[in-house]
Amino acid sequence: MTRIVRRHAMRVLNATDIDAVSRHRLCCAAMIPNRQPSPVDCPDPLTRAPRVTVAGTAERARLHLAPLALQGAVTAVILRDTRGAALTDAQRLSHFPASPLVCLSWFQGLDAGFVERTAGGVRWRPCGAAVMLSGSQSRPTVGWAPTTGRAGMLCVPADVARTLFGVDVAAVHDRFVPAREVLDADWWPLLDALLDAPDDAATLAALECHMADRWRTLQGRALSFPSLRRFGRHWVERLAWQAHQWRRTHSPRQVERRIMAHSGRSLRQWQTLVKTEGVFFTARERYESGLPVDWAELAHDEGFADQAHLCRAVKRITGFSPNDFARRFAEDESFWLYRIWM
């Protein structure tokens, strides 16, 4: 309240006013996806372009696990720097999977946006802000930028986004919203620090500086996720346990509504997402070991009814069949995120 009074010195806001401000902020955020697209021409989201490798240079995309002080709060930090890289329009595409994570993304020196296929053809929708917050995603997305630059992505579990950042995870499910529209002003110094960070070390230091004390105060202790592969299973196990506790005092329908409000999607959807991600990790391990990939066998091992069930799940998360996804994973520049994650 002190902060609100300071920013509006001519008037003291009461609870009704604050509710109105909150509703206005959410309404503004809701209108973002409906803005008119930029006239900038963009490639078709299915356009293929080969991976770009330059001997003797550092990897353009890197994945960092959580700093020690942020274990349990941060799943991963993804950083990509394409400055100085001669990328074609198609090589500046980026494919992102459906995901249970809430992400804070920032862009330095580039105007990032999303490519969409509509009845009127392919269009590019720019984000319109240098820092965006996205909720869990039930479908794959394709990003694109007309220039090169540096970008980062902070990935956190949905429950951390709710308790640490104060985000209504159900309200941002399947959405991308300017971060300053939904995060309290106390978090804006973090957003500024991320935009000012010149390299990976400075980015990680900024995250630790602005988040560690709050996380320690909130959590009381640091939880540890031993690996990215384990993270998804750990999260779903905790969600299933919470659902089990709620069933003692609530009807099945009430439990379903609570799970949706708590996490943005149903428990069954979370379980399918985690099972499918397990297939990706196993397929990569077999590929790197020189072993053939048997999709029917993988479907059985990961708990799918059959291969067709697995194929539907993979397409729902990535937008591609397992075979098409495997080819693009190995060959296409736009699949860089999958390669550093798995």
pLDDT of residue 191: 97
DSSP assignment of 84-116 equals T----TGGG-EEE--BS-EEEEEEESS--EEEE
Please tell me the predicted confidence (pLDDT) of residue 9.
41
Instruction: Give CA–CA dist 116/284, Å, rounded.
Output: 29
Per-residue confidence (pLDDT) for residue 335, from 0 to 100 = 92
Task: Specify burial of residue 150 (Cβ count, 10 A radius: 0-12, 13-18, 19+).
Answer: buried
Q: What is the pTM of this model?
A: 0.70
Decide: 73 and 216 in contact? Cβ < 8 Å: no
Q: How many CB atoms lie within 10 A of CB 230?
A: 11
Give the pLDDT confidence score for residue 237 in this predicted structure.
Answer: 57
What is the pLDDT tens value at each position of the chain, 342 positions in all?
A: 344 333 344 344 444 443 444 444 444 444 444 444 445 689 999 999 999 876 545 568 999 988 878 888 898 999 999 998 899 999 999 999 998 899 999 999 999 999 998 888 899 999 999 999 999 998 999 999 999 999 999 999 888 899 999 999 989 999 999 999 999 999 999 999 999 999 999 999 999 999 999 998 886 544 444 444 555 555 565 666 566 666 667 777 776 777 777 666 666 666 666 677 777 778 778 777 788 878 888 888 777 888 888 888 888 888 999 889 888 988 999 999 988 877
Q: What is the pLDDT of residue 18?
A: 39
Helix (H, G, I), strand (E, B) or coil at 224: coil
3-class state of residue 178 by DSSP: strand
Any bridge partners for residue 74, and if so which? 71
Pairwise CA distance, residues 164 & 169, whole Å? 12
- 78, 59, 194: which is closest to 129 by C-alpha? 194
Q: Which DSSP helix (H) or strand (E) runs through 142?
A: strand 141-144
Q: SS3 for 35?
A: coil
Question: pLDDT per residue over 287-326, tens digit each?
Answer: 777 888 788 888 887 778 888 888 888 888 889 998 898 8
Q: Maximum Cα–Cα distance for the chain, whole Å?
A: 70
Q: Which DSSP letter does residue 125 get? A: E
Q: 202 — phi, psi (to 5°)? A: -65, -35
Please name the residue ranges forming H helices in the chain.
2-7, 15-31, 158-163, 179-182, 188-196, 200-219, 228-246, 252-263, 267-288, 295-301, 307-318, 322-331, 336-341
